Amino acid sequence: MLNSIGKQTYEEVCMSYSVRGFLDGVAYTVVVNRDDPDEVDGPVSGSPPVMTLLEGRVGDRVWATPTGPALVLSLDDDRSILAALTELTQVYETAGDVPQVLPPEVPGAVY
């Protein structure tokens, strides 16, 4: 499907990605699989403590950075999952087709 300017939408381009990090000092891996969202575990799977954390925060606002943007966590939204993992855990590695959570940098803006 093409959007109004003839480009594919983000959801059609993004396939899957993984996130590795630490939660309370314990290593974890989470995989967001958009290739087959009907998998047994759904489109998001991973270490049980992290999945429990994400499931418990569904509907909460999570922050991509301390000053925003804020996203509402949904296990069907790649960007909000990555923002939640970044906010709630210590992410040390991402791989695959990782979504862009932050808006593109604006020339001349101070960050």
Which sequence spans correspond to the domains of the chain? 10-91
The pTM is what?
Answer: 0.74
Tell me if the bond preceding 103 is cis, omega within 30° of 0. Answer: no
Residue 23, Ramachandran bin (φ over 0: left; ψ between -120 and 50: alpha; else beta): beta
- pLDDT above 70 (res 35): no
Q: Calculate the average pLDDT of the chain.
A: 79
User: What is the pLDDT, as a whole number, of residue 101?
Assistant: 74
Predicted confidence at residue 70, as pLDDT, reads: 87
pLDDT at residue 102 tops 50: yes
* Structure token digits, residue 1: 């499907």
